[in-house]
Amino acid sequence: MADALHRLGLGTSPLGNLYAEVTDREARAVVDAAWESGVRIFDTAPHYGLGLAERRLGAALKDRPRDEFVLSTKVGRLLVPDPSGAGRLDDDGFAVPARWRREWDFSADGVRRSLESSLERLGLDRVDVVYLHDPDDHWEQAFGEALPALAELREQGVVGAIGAGMNQWQMLARFVRESSVDVILLAGRYTLLEQPALAELLPLCASRGVDVLAAGLFNSGLLARQDVPDDATYDYRTAPVDVVGRARRIAAVCARHGTTLPAAALWFPFGHPAVTGALIGARTEAELRANVDAFAAPPPPGLWADLRDEGLLDAGTPTP
């Protein structure tokens, strides 16, 4: 189990108070529990809580052996002081005072400034991976300015690897095809529920030796519980009725095989050889440990066969 857990990473948007406040103590308990469980991949971003997630993660990792974990952060949103926002909450989903505002910036200077500020918040001397964060509407600057700046930092040994993290697969495929990225972070587009990245992006990554870190494995909540609620979230919104129904059908097959929907969702992406790691998020220590427990053993092979038979997985979909 320990070796498998080294492929799981902790995503820290919940530790930036995504949707609801998390205390410093609760955030520290999540990181400590992840470490104790064998998790050694940690991902964060300035966007998460206007720097709060980076500060909390750095504080929790500062006394850990630096060569024993992989740390990634992201560039593309600079945090600019905004004293006028101190009396209101951030309007981008995080329960934090809006003392900073985000400014899109994929310029070379923006990349360097963003990384420097991230290191200051983390309190660490380096990060291992830097991703372009959600460059959906900024292709030209991200590809023409930010990516060459990251490649230069990689050549200088300032960072170990570079890539892009997005909720869509199409632009990620373009980055893989047209640049020298080492890794991509794919959120929500290769999950037990849906696999739109399977036909083109994942084979492309496999052929070019680009690692895939899968995120959003629960499709922002829909697959997080065996008993899928009517108001489950999908892609950060209330899930459509037909999508809830599909998740419940998958859950029923899981139950027949003595496993759960979350466990199957956690294991599923590792069936593809291009997927080298996966991120999980947790708001509390209990959530973190529940995810780790769900990952304790792979679901029985018969589960995947039954999902195919019921039309819930395409015939050619690779499984663990």
**What average pLDDT does the segment 145-170 reach?**
97
For the chain, what is the radius of gyration of the CA atoms?
19
> What are the distances in angstroms from CA 303 to CA 7, 132, 309, 318?
22, 36, 10, 13
| CB < 8 Å & 24+ apart, contacts of 245-254 | 246/193, 246/312, 247/193, 247/222, 247/223, 249/310, 249/312, 250/192, 250/193, 250/223, 250/307, 250/312, 251/226, 251/227, 253/303, 253/306, 253/307, 253/310, 253/312, 254/226, 254/299, 254/303
Of the chain, the percentage scoring pLDDT greater than 90 comes to 94
What are the CB-based long-range contacts (under 8 Å, 24+) for 194-198? 194/219, 195/314, 195/317, 196/169, 197/169, 197/172, 198/272, 198/314, 198/317
pLDDT of residue 2: 44
Residue type, 270: F
Tokens of 106: 């994929």
Predicted pLDDT at 236: 85
Which is the catalytic residue, given 19, 48, 190, 236? 48
- Report pLDDT for 297: 85
Q: Is the pLDDT of residue 1 over 60?
A: no
Closest CA to 132 of 182, 97, 87: 182
Burial (CB count <10 Å: 0-12, 13-18, 19+), residue 238 = middle
Query: Does residue 289 register a pLDDT over 70?
Result: yes
Q: What pLDDT does residue 4 have?
A: 58
Whether the pLDDT of residue 78 is over 60: the answer is yes
- Beta carbons of 187 and 216 less than 8 angstroms apart: yes
Instruction: Give all domains of the chain, ordered by start, each with its CATH number.
Output: 1-162 (3.20.20.100), 167-276 (3.20.20.100)
Rounded Cα–Cα distance for residues 256 and 251 (Å)? 9
Q: Which two tokens stand for residue 72?
A: 């990634």
Catalytic residue flag (residue 19)? no
Q: Which amino acid is at 103?
A: E
Provide the pLDDT for residue 6: 76
**pLDDT-derived band at 3, boundaries 50, 70, 90:** low
Interval 44-64 mean pLDDT: 98
